[in-house]
Amino acid sequence: MEKANGWLYDVLNKNKFIKKGIDKMNINLVHDFNINTEEEFSRIQSDLAKNIKLENGFNPENIETCAGVDLAYWMKDGEEYATCCIVVIDYITKEVIEKVYSYGKINEPYIPGYLAFRELPLIIRAVEKLGSEPNIFVFDGNGYLHFSHMGIATHASFFLNKPTIGVAKSYLKINGNDFQMPEDEIGAYKDIVIENEVYGRVLRSRKNTKPIFISCGNYIDIETSTEIILNLLNRDSRIPIPTRLADLETHIMREKLKKM
Q: What is the DSSP letter of 241?
A: H
Residue 151 to residue 144: CA distance in whole angstroms: 6
* Residue-range domains of the chain with CATH: 38-168+212-258 (3.30.2170.10)
Residue 258: its H or E element: helix 241-258
Q: Is 140 annotated as a binding residue?
A: yes
What are the start-end ranges of the H helices in 139-233?
A: 152-160, 222-231
Q: Are 113 and 148 in contact (CB under 8 A)?
A: yes
pTM of the shown model = 0.90
Predicted confidence pLDDT, tens digits, the chain (260 residues): 232 233 233 333 334 455 544 357 889 999 999 887 899 999 999 999 999 999 999 999 999 999 999 999 999 999 999 999 999 999 999 999 999 999 999 988 888 899 999 999 999 999 999 999 999 999 999 999 999 999 999 999 999 999 999 999 999 899 889 999 999 999 999 999 999 999 999 999 999 999 999 999 999 999 999 999 999 999 889 999 999 999 999 999 999 999 88
Q: Is 70 annotated as a binding residue?
A: yes
Residue 111 to residue 118: CA distance in whole angstroms: 9
